[in-house]
Structure 1
Amino acid sequence: MTEIPRGTLQEQTFYEQVGGEETFRRLVHRFYQGVAEDPLLRPMYPEEDLGPAEDRLRLFLMQYWGGPRTYSENRGHPRLRMRHAPFTVNREAHDAWLRHMRDAVDELELAPELERQLWEYLTYAAASMVNTAG
């Protein structure tokens, strides 16, 4: 058997490792089920239907983790802080967001290393959106 030289096999992206679009669809759908019932977060979504927000977050996360670039093709650069600036994102909103995201991540039942990577990013992202003291 001929040995394959190290570095010649293309590594899978995180997106591929966790199961691709279906996994991100499940994650974001479960997250928005929690948001829909949350008295603090729900008013931050002015659309009557959370579907468009769900689509945006799913496409953003898919692209971030190595999937299709549909988000940028449709919306340009993510500019997350700018897009969240109109909303009061304080520690309470941060905690509520992470609570719903934690429920969604847990339901995926990812391998521990993949779950850790995803959760580290989500906690970093949530902290970086805080724009109001309190």
Structure 2
Amino acid sequence: MVTPYERIGGAVVVDRLVEAFYHRMDTLPEAKQIRDMHGTNLGPIKHILKRYFSEWLGGPKLYSPEKGHPRLRQRHMGFAIGNAERDAWLLCMRGALEETVSDIQARQDVDAAMTKLADWMRNQAGNPHDARAGRP
């Protein structure tokens, strides 16, 4: 079975995806509130996200040997994540997916899984806490 990681193009595309995502976060006015949640140096967080996406998409396990179980909601509890933050994150990610993933069906599948993940990450009013983060 071909993994989503392989379908989108592997490590090269994961790298491009994360770079395109953070470029949008740096430049889109709609993303200012989520950009402000990050430090000035995005290098370390880019590294972590690339390793996480590699593993989450079915590629090499690069994240968990270094960081352990992702526990994404727990790791993000210090940040207020509501609908506006989710929407800004998805705006940046969808643009990055469009730019970097040429396989339309793979892009749609990853987008659907990322949308579930973004919904699940909300920790402000409006988050159904029993929702489960999807995987592609």
| TM-score, scaled relative to structure 2 | 0.85
Contact residue 26 and residue 35 of structure 2 kept, 8 A: yes
Superposition CA RMSD, Å: 1.3
Kindly, what percent of the aligned residue pairs are identical?
36
Structure 1 segments of 4+ aligned residues over 3 angstroms from their partners: none
The residue number in structure 2 matching 1:123 is: 115
Aligned residue identity for 2:16 = R
Q: Radius of gyration: which is bigger?
A: 1
CA 1:108–1:77 in 2, change beyond 3 Å: closer, same or farther?
Answer: same
Per-residue CA deviations over 1:73-130 (Å, capped at 9, x if unaligned) read 1100000000110000011111110111111011024222111110011100110011
Contact residue 18 and residue 114 of structure 1 kept, 8 A: yes
| TM-score, scaled relative to structure 1 | 0.86
Answering whether residue 100 of structure 2 is matched by residue 108 of structure 1, we say: yes
Answering whether residue 72 of structure 2 is matched by residue 95 of structure 1, we say: no
Q: Could you list the runs of 5+ residues in structure 1 that have no partner in the other structure?
A: 1-10
Q: Equivalents in 1 of 2:82, 2:105: separation in Å? A: 29
1:1-134 to structure 2, matched below 5 A, reads 11-37=1-27, 38-45=31-38, 47-133=39-125
Aligned residue identity for 1:34 = R
Q: What secondary structure does 1:88 align onto?
A: coil
Q: Equivalents in 1 of 2:15, 2:117: separation in Å? A: 19
Aligned residues: 123
